[in-house]
Structure 1
Amino acid sequence: MLISAYTYEQRTTGQRTGRQQLDVTATNISTATVDPAQAKVTCDGDLNMTTDAALTVRMIGCPDRTFG
């Protein structure tokens, strides 16, 4: 029996502004991994995080970033 570790996941696509930006809202997790190519951001892109606790974001091929 496979049980997902994620309670809820939502993906939306909005109008592209040409900015390198990733907006994430996270609840009850401490680590997230992002594929920058799939998210269409670079290692230097803006990460806008809303989290209820400390969150480490691992972007494949980039240094870890911690929020919260």
Structure 2
Amino acid sequence: MEEQQSQADSPKPTAAQASAEAAERKRKLQALELQRERILSERTSSPHRRSALAYALADIEEKLAELGWTVHM
């Protein structure tokens, strides 16, 4: 009974909230994809810079995976 009452009291997301959340998710995905593309396009002869780019790329791809992103080929 208590569980049913707490479920009834919890707010349900509206269509507008769901739409706003979807738009925010899409914006985040696009921003991360752009960052990923920029990193992939960089060329450097510095091993330190290449290492930093590899770490940055791994971080971005991890964030993308959390958002459900998959590689588009």
Tell me the TM-score normalized by structure 2.
0.19
Structure showing greater Rg: 2
Tell me the TM-score normalized by structure 1.
0.20
Which structure has the higher relative contact order (CA within 8 Å, separation 6+)? Answer: 2
Higher helix share: 2
